[in-house]
């Protein structure tokens, strides 16, 4: 019985990959975005940055926006280069919102533990989230939720570099 299930799974996977259209994959690294946290309380705090996704795509000569089939986040690096570094942050998540009310806010990356002496960390990517529809609307909002270990009245800027994997039809 197990052999039949395994064989059926392998055949299904082969069938799906043989029928899928061929795509080109291009990685786009957007310039660093600064998230400024103000009036920080211990626990979860949010900062939002607006991004012109249409301009980001149009700036890429190798990508035909008409042929985009899917867009995924492929990497997120958080950094803070002052004397404190990321020492006051215990965890974080990056979410994306669209201008369209029809699209829900989605979490695309998380980090559950941040070393006290870190100045930079790579977030864990949630791979299965296709953002093509979000980016097609022209503007997206990046929402960074950071859990701080203590209250702080001073502004705390965090920089995020986000990489996108854009897949286009050949």
Distance CA 29, CA 79 (A): 15
> Is 15 within the bounds of a domain?
no
- Residue 163 contacts residue 74 (beta carbons within 8 Å): yes
* Helix, strand or coil, per DSSP, at residue 1: coil
Distance CA 165, CA 68 (A): 11
> Is 36 within the bounds of a domain?
yes
> Is 107 within the bounds of a domain?
yes
pTM here is 0.82
DSSP 7: H
Q: Of 116, 23, 26, 27, whose CA–CA distance to 76 is shortest?
A: 27
> Is 16 within the bounds of a domain?
no
Q: Per-residue confidence at 44, pLDDT binned at 50, 70, 90?
A: very high
Tokens of 58: 């149009």
C-alpha distances in Å from residue 119, one per residue of 63, 73, 88, 96: 33, 22, 11, 24
> Is 134 within the bounds of a domain?
yes
> Is 99 within the bounds of a domain?
yes
Of 19-33, 49-63, 64-78, 117-131, the one with minimum mean pLDDT is 19-33
Residue 1, pLDDT score? 52
Distance CA 139, CA 53 (A): 5
Average of per-residue pLDDT values in the chain? 86
pLDDT at 83 over 50: yes
Distance CA 92, CA 113 (A): 8
**Considering just the CA atoms, what is the radius of gyration of the chain in Å?**
19
* Helix, strand or coil, per DSSP, at residue 17: helix
What is the number of domains present in the chain?
Answer: 1
> Is 140 within the bounds of a domain?
yes
Query: Residue 95: which domain range?
Result: 22-169
Residue 5, pLDDT score? 46
User: CB under 8 Å to 72, separation ≥6 — which residues?
Assistant: 125, 127, 129, 130, 131, 164, 165, 167
Tokens of 144: 């960074």
Q: Could you read off the pLDDT of 103-154 as tens digits, one per residue?
A: 999 999 999 999 888 899 999 999 889 999 998 888 999 999 999 999 999 8
> Is 1 within the bounds of a domain?
no
CATH number for the domain spanning 110: value is 2.60.120
């Amino acid at each position: 019985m197990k052999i039949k299930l395994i064989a059926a799974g392998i055949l299904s996977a082969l069938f799906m990959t043989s029928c899928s259209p061929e795509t080109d994959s291009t990685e786009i690294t957007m310039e660093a975005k600064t998230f400024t946290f103000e009036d920080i309380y211990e626990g979860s705090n949010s900062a939002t940055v607006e991004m012109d996704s249409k301009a980001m795509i149009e700036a890429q000569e190798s990508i035909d926006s008409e042929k985009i089939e899917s867009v995924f986040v492929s990497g997120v690096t958080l950094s803070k280069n002052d004397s404190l570094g990321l020492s006051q942050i215990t965890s974080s998540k990056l979410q994306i919102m669209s201008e369209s009310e029809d699209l829900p806010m989605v979490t695309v990356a998380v980090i559950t533990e941040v070393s006290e002496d870190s100045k930079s960390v790579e977030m864990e990517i949630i791979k299965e989230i296709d953002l093509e529809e979000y980016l097609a609307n022209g503007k997206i909002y990046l929402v960074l939720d950071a859990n701080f270990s203590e209250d702080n009245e001073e502004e705390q800027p965090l920089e995020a570099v986000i990489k996108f994997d854009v897949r286009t039809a050949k």
